Structure 1
Amino acid sequence: MDAKNYGHAITFNDNATVNILKLEYDVLHDPDFAFIDEATRAKVKDSYDRGIDCTLKCQLTVDGKFTAWAQQYDAEKMVPVKARAFELEGLAAGESSAILGMFMDIQNPSEPIRQAVHAGAEWFESVKITGKKLEKRDGDIFVVDDPAAEPMWSRFYEIGTNRPFFVGRDGIKKYDVSEIEKERRLGYAWLRPFWGADVAKKYADWKLKYPK
């Protein structure tokens, strides 16, 4: 796939695929959609089943262990691909959080979905950033030490090492957010606490219902 034409990629970025799958799930299970005829419902189910299967296949494995998801994938090779210059291939916390949330909303999930959720939640726990917080001052943001800070997660993690990384418009990977230009530092969500926190909160109840 041409990297400049990433619109043809399988796209989890901005929850594009997740939002479609959630709507299709509602069509199939919510009484408010009972007016939809059976022929259309059958098409929705086929689309939904294929979408869930694709999403499961996109969960990346490292050393034989399931981890999380990238933002976008080559639709034929099923491998992560870059999008904009500052969106390189990597494990994406925001999109992975949304995927896991969607999976945990499914009633009576299949065994592959259960395995995906357990593995994904464990990955989030393993890559949380502790003892640091974002501080805004002088029209900029800084990562500073704070032993009492709540955990946060990086937008991107390097596949294979789980190192948080950051990218400016030059497309060069950096491992410190201070090393990219201010415009990108302020103009993109690089570090956030709620991605992993949302997963952990939901998973705490879900795993009691669907233990490993």
Structure 2
Amino acid sequence: MKRVNKSNGRQGGWLFVFFILAICSFSLTAQQGVEKQNRLRETDQAFFQTEEARRIGDQLLLYQRATGGWPKNIDMTRELSEEEREQLLKEQGRRDDSTIDNNATTMQMIYLARLYQQTGEARYREAFRRGVEYLLSGQYANGGWPQFWPETRGYQVAITYNDDAIVNILFLFRDMMSGQSPYDGDLFDEALLQRLSDSFDRGIACILKTQIVVAGEPTIWCQQHDRETLLPTSARSYELPSYCSQESAAIVDLLMSLPHPDTSVKKAIIGAMKWFDTYKLTGMRYERGVMIDGERTVRLVEDPEAGPIWARFYDLEKVEPFVCDRDGIPRKHLEEIGSERRNGYSWYNSRPTRLYPLYENWRKQYE
């Protein structure tokens, strides 16, 4: 019989405990990181009365560019070192990274509005107003907005619905015009309110003008439209001119929130909902994070119990779903594109589903 080495057993036990504690510590740290990131979406009034809320607000002022906008994809809630603060001050004059992509600028503005409401500290109000001026300055004469400005590169000049960029601006302007919290008080004056109203109306007009119309019938939108022709256009190599369900759902949500919609708005909503209903995919489920042959991936599987989903992209000619890799070649199946894009992009979504109950109520009121 083989003798058990008790010393090694104890050592292995300690290693096991250490391993478990390390995992728990990592999970807790990751969770705390997510919570800090989400602080910019905080709505609790009590939080905005805390020193932590002010600390984050002051950091947002450091990240704000002289343009009035903010860059994207940065955890602006993480506590900064003195060296980082000095570097941010040096970067405030940048003109090439202010954007409305990935919720940038509008998210920081909403936070600052809530913080000003609770503190009354003028620096937050002034930063918010600079953000408003930035948004107003970027609007094209046709009512659309680019993705970045004042300096843009390549596809960034297109009218950008991708990731709800323009919709986020218009929802913010709508809420400001309503005077609802936190946009009450002296956050802005009547003169600015009129400019917001004019900008909002032009933004809605642009949405209606860019809606893809086929045989006289309005359908949905592309993720981006040419700023001159207003036609669907490409962005990154895998984002081709197409019908785009995900962003179009947000646009319809915005349109249905308009009080007293005119005939053109009604027609746009009805046409888009008809399109969603016609091209929904049933009996299929979009799975993320599944392990196949040792690789974490995504896939479509048959599921008769699954609710409807939509491809993110449908081609403009046959209205058929497609996916695409960085080579710019549309393909029918997820398995036909590389792992990097297959796992790094949202190819299917259920976003239009939440429109249906809203649409039923809207029809009762306005049809």
TM class by shorter-chain length?
over 0.9
Equivalence for 1:166: 323
After superposition, what is the alpha-carbon deviation per residue over 1:162-194, rounded to whole angstroms, capped at 9, x for unaligned?
Answer: 21111001110111122111211111000122x
Shift of 1:133: 1.4
Name which of structure 1's ranges 166-175 and 144-153 shifts more when overlaid on structure 2.
144-153
How far, CA to CA, are the matches of 1:177 and 1:108 in structure 2? 43
CA deviation map 1:8-52 (0-9, x unaligned): 111000111001011111121224434332211111111111111
Mapping for residues 1-212 of structure 1, pairs under 5 Å = 5-32=154-181, 33-34=183-184, 35=186, 36-135=188-287, 136-138=290-292, 139-193=296-350, 195-211=351-367
Which secondary structure does the structure 1 equivalent of 2:301 belong to? strand
The range that moved more, 11-20 or 152-161, is 152-161
How many Å apart are 1:201 and its aligned residue? 2.6
Cα distance in 2 between the residues matched to 1:27 and 1:134? 37
Deviation at 1:5, TM superposition (A): 0.6
Q: Secondary structure at the match of 2:322?
A: strand
Which 10-residue stretch deviates more, 97-106 or 4-13? 4-13
Counterparts of 1:197 and 1:137 in 2: how far apart (Å)? 28
Letter in 1 for 2:200: Y
Q: How many Å apart are 1:122 and its aligned residue?
A: 0.9
| Cα drift, residue 91 of structure 1 | 0.9
Equivalent residue letter for 1:20: I
Q: Is the 8 A contact 1:125 1:196 kept in 2?
A: no
* Percent of matched pairs sharing the same residue: 38
Unaligned runs of 5+ in 1: none
SS at match of 1:96: helix
| Matched position secondary structure for 2:300 | strand
The separation in 2 between residues aligned to 1:13 and 1:88, in whole angstroms, is 12
The offset of 1:205, in angstroms, is 1.5
- Counterparts of 2:306 and 2:347 in 1: how far apart (Å)? 17
TM-score by length of 2: 0.54
Q: How many residues get paired?
A: 207
> What RMSD in Å do the two structures reach over aligned CA positions?
1.4
1:126 is aligned with what amino acid? T
- Greater RCO (Cα-Cα under 8 Å, separation 6 or more): 1
* TM-score (normalizing by structure 1): 0.92
CA–CA distance in structure 2, aligned partners of residues 111 and 29 of structure 1: 23
Which structure 2 residue ranges, 5 or more long, are not aligned? 1-152
Work out the CA distance in 2 between the residues paired with 1:134 and 1:192.
8
Deviations 1:136-156 (A, max 9, x none): 332122212222221111111
CA offsets per residue over residues 84-118 of structure 1, 9 Å max, x none?
A: 01111111111100000011111222221111111
Q: Is the 8 A contact 1:128 1:196 kept in 2?
A: no
| 1-structure distance, mates of 2:167, 2:286 | 28
2-structure distance, mates of 1:161, 1:97: 20
- When structure 1 is superposed on structure 2, of 122-131 and 197-206 the one drifting more is 197-206
- Opposite residue 258 of structure 2, the aligned amino acid is I
Whole-angstrom distance in 1 between the partners of 2:189 and 2:300: 54
The secondary structure found in structure 2 opposite 1:52 is helix
Q: Aligned AA for 2:216?
A: G
Structure with higher strand content: 1
Tell me the distance in 2 between the aligned counterparts of 1:134 and 1:23.
31
